[in-house]
Amino acid sequence: MKKAVIFDLDGVITDTARYHYLAWKRLAEGEGVHFDEAANEHLKGIDRMGSLDLILASSPRSYTADEKLALATQKNEHYKELIATMSPADLLPGAVQALIDCRAAGLRIGLASVSRNAFTVLASLGITDKFDYVVDAATIAQGKPDPEIFLAAATALGVAPEDCFGVEDAVAGVASIKSAGMYAVGVGDPQVLRQADVVIPSLAQFRLADYLAA
């Protein structure tokens, strides 16, 4: 039986993807780089600097490390302005009930988001107390699909990786879960999240009993 569950944040519990998209789009266009919804799909599950590198790969010029850092900071400041108005109304369907069900089952609950604004978002959503441990993305050296962030969550929760299952909406995130040796619940399109052990449309279809003994 599984002893812990580790959730991703964006696209699973809440949808800040639109805010990320708008912030990245403004930055990209400011640098003369075309950026649309299709390009944004490639950034899912990728950390800030990794996402910036993908965007700037289409730029006609090169950038120093300091210039990249300044651009990443610029994007983040705009993103924080956009998420400042978030509230519990921005929780995705089924999210709170999934957390309640996991707690009732005695599971340890972790959050493994590459967003450095995860703590701010959780506070705005009013669910910080639903988690036993939230990974600080600033302490993670390797972003998803590397398993580091999920392994860090398992370690902090005091549970072996094989006794955890992860919940993710991104290809890179699912790969991270599987590389960590965990059961993977994908949220989204089964044709996209092929590496997941099971895929559900949203947390409204979260069936804890199906995952505990998987």
Q: 87 burial class (0-12, 13-18, 19+ CB within 10 angstroms)?
A: exposed
Q: How many CB atoms lie within 10 A of CB 184?
A: 25
What are the residues whose beta carbons fall under 8 Å from the beta carbon of 122, sequence distance 6 or more?
A: 9, 111, 128, 131, 134
- Of the candidates 8, 15, 101, 136, the residue annotated as catalytic is 8
From the DSSP assignment, how many helices (H) and strands (E) are in the chain?
A: 9, 6
8 is catalytic: yes
> Which structure tokens are listed for 87?
């509230």
51's enclosing H/E stretch is helix 48-56
10 is catalytic: yes
Instruction: Walk across the sheet containing 133-134 and list its strands.
Output: 133-134, 108-111, 4-7, 164-168, 183-187, 198-200
- Of the candidates 10, 129, 132, 169, the residue annotated as catalytic is 10
- Cite the active site residues: 8, 10
